[in-house]
Every structure is written in C-alpha cells, then in structure tokens.
C-alpha cells in the first residue's frame, strides 16, 4: 500500500535527526516535499527536483501558508528545547505548544488532509510495565507535558476541521548521524579508544529503533491514514521489537568494538530512571512493518563511520 506518487508533503524540523531521513523517504517514494528548516540547515539536503526548501523558524509558522499555498500532508517535527537543558524550561515548552498550534492552523489553510506530529515516550512518564498507546500518561518533564498538551489540542481541532491526525510517540532512535552526546554514540567513540565509561546501573529495560526504520514507519502510517476512509485520529508508538535490559545493549557494543574499555556500571545516578518496554503491535497491524535493520548492524555502521573519519 502506498500513496499516489507526487503528493505534496510539508515537513517542519526537516533538518532534524529524524527529519532528514523522513524527507528522503518521501522523496524516494516519488512524493514532493517542502522541507521547512532554518537557513543554517539547508546544507543537510541533497539537491532533488521534488524538494523545495522553505527557510523559517518556529515563530514564523503562522505565515507558512503564504509560502506554501496547498499540500496533502503536514508533518510537524520541529520543537525547541529537546535536549536535557531545555526539557524543564516551562516558558520554552509553552512556546512550543503555541508555535505548533500555528503550524496546525497553517496546515488547515493549506487544505491538508492529514496532520502528523512527533510526540515522545516522555509523555508516558515512568512506566515499569509494557507501554501501549492506551497506557495512562503521567509525564514528569515540562517537555513531556507540553507534547501531551499539544496532542490533546491538536486532536480536538483536527476533529472539528475534518482533518485526519496521527500522533507519533517516538521512543529511542539511533543512527550514524545521531548527536555525539547520546549513549550509543558516546559508548562507541569511547570504546574504540578503549577509554573507561561511566554509566548508570543500566538495569532498566530499553528499546532502540534505527532512524531510517522510524522514517519508514511514519511514511507508511501516512499511507495507511490517507487510504483508510474510516481513519480519523490515532496515536502510534514508534519503536522496535528489540527490548532488552540496557546493560545488554552496552555489552553488545563492547563486543562489536572489541573494546577493552572499563564499563563503570553504577557510577552515574540519574534523577529519573526511565524504563522503555514499548508495545508496537498497533503499528505492525496497521502497516505490517516495524524494522529491517538490527541494533548490531546499526552499531557496525556507526563503528565503520568512526574508523573512516
């Protein structure tokens, strides 16, 4: 099942980690993409006749429809303060909700049939059991609270306007071009240098999904929503089927790097110990796809890129 090639897709935050891969996924499927990003991020995209770049900050989203008169799908990925430093800045997270509602209004003005936004596992808070889309949400960070608040408002407005709506609760993504401060990237870099690594106890469950597989999940969910006449609004967990104790992932990386690094488990005490055990059966039922690349293969690719730099 796929959308008719040539549909017009708008993606905000298109230069983000997931955004670049989602943009490429739609282009590869023959769709036309308008990538909305900051001027400084344009270099992340290869030239493509079906790609148009619109320079804008989140504060500009209220006027996007003046530059993009019509589209079929609006995918909103942009969000400020996603790093540790901004997650509990209440004013910044409130501004995200305001700007995101302006993006939603712009989608309405473009007469989009479907609005998609990037939620987060942070909306669930701390859950020690399997997490499905019906699991009650109790976010502890301002970031998680803001994502959940926007979902509620977006779902209501889309219902009022007759626009289909997908809320993607993204768990933990990995890939070759990930931020250098993430656990996987930090571990691989230190392990290749045989440096000691200070870690938490790593006894909680965790789940990693390859970013390109995440992009495929989201693209195929758009196909699904647009092709199903009865579809109105749904939340989907974007994750893999590979859930393990976090320590097992770390030990796998040590084995793949042939590292002599001393792993100092328990040296770091996080303020909140989050455990991730996502249920992705709803996505599998909808699109018949979860992932095609294993955790070990992603790590091998990251190792290769680090060695060849």
Residues paired with 239 in a beta bridge = none
pLDDT tens digit sequence for 203-229: 999 999 999 999 999 999 999 999 999
In a shared domain, residues 46 and 195: no
In a shared domain, residues 77 and 218: yes
| pLDDT (mean) for 40-57 | 92
In a shared domain, residues 116 and 185: no
Q: What is the residue range of 249's domain?
A: 176-207+241-276+292-307
Number of independent structural domains in the chain: 2
CATH classification of the domain holding 257: 3.90.25.10
| pLDDT (mean) for 17-37 | 97
Residue 5's pLDDT band (boundaries 50, 70, 90)? low
What are the helix and strand counts (H, E) for the chain?
Answer: 9, 13
pLDDT tens digit sequence for 167-203: 999 999 999 999 999 999 999 999 999 999 999 999 9
Q: What is the pTM of this model?
A: 0.95
In a shared domain, residues 81 and 222: yes
Per-residue confidence (pLDDT) for residue 212, from 0 to 100: 98
- Tokens coding 204: 């909680």
**Does any domain span residue 285?**
no
Strand locations in the chain (E): 8-12, 32-37, 51-55, 73-76, 114-120, 164-170, 173-174, 197-198, 205-207, 209-210, 233-238, 243-245, 263-264
Per-residue confidence (pLDDT) for residue 86, from 0 to 100: 83
Residue 12: phi and psi, rounded to 5, are: -90, 155
CATH classification of the domain holding 94: 3.40.50.720
In a shared domain, residues 182 and 120: no
In a shared domain, residues 19 and 61: yes
């Amino acid at each position: 099942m796929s959308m008719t090639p040539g549909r017009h897709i708008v993606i905000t935050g298109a230069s983000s980690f997931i955004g670049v891969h989602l943009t490429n996924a739609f282009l590869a499927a023959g769709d036309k993409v308008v990538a909305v990003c900051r001027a400084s991020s344009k270099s992340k995209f290869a030239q493509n006749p079906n790609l148009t770049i619109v320079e804008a900050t989140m504060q500009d989203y209220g006027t996007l429809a003046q530059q993009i008169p019509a589209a079929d799908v609006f995918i909103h990925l942009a969000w400020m303060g996603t790093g540790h430093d901004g997650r509990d800045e209440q004013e910044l997270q409130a501004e995200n909700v305001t700007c995101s509602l302006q993006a939603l209004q712009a989608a309405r003005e473009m007469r989009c049939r479907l609005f998609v936004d990037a939620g987060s596992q942070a909306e669930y808070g701390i859950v020690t059991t399997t997490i499905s889309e019906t699991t009650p949400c109790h976010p502890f960070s301002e970031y998680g609270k803001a994502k959940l608040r926007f979902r509620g408002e977006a779902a209501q407005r889309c219902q009022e306007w007759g626009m289909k709506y997908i809320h993607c609760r993204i768990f933990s993504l990995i890939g070759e071009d990930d931020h250098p401060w993430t656990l996987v990237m930090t571990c691989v870099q230190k392990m290749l240098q045989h440096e000691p690594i200070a870690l938490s106890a790593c006894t909680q469950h965790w789940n990693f999904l390859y970013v390109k597989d995440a992009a495929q999940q989201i693209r195929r969910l758009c196909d699904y929503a647009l092709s199903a006449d009865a579809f109105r609004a749904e939340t989907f967990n974007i994750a893999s089927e590979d859930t393990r104790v976090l320590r097992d992932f770390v030990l796998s990386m040590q084995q793949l790097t042939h590292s002599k690094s001393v792993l100092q488990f328990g040296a770091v005490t996080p303020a909140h110990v989050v455990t991730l055990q996502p249920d992705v059966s709803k996505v599998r039922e909808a699109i018949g796809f979860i992932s095609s690349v294993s955790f070990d293969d992603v790590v091998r690719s990251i190792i290769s890129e680090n060695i060849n730099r």
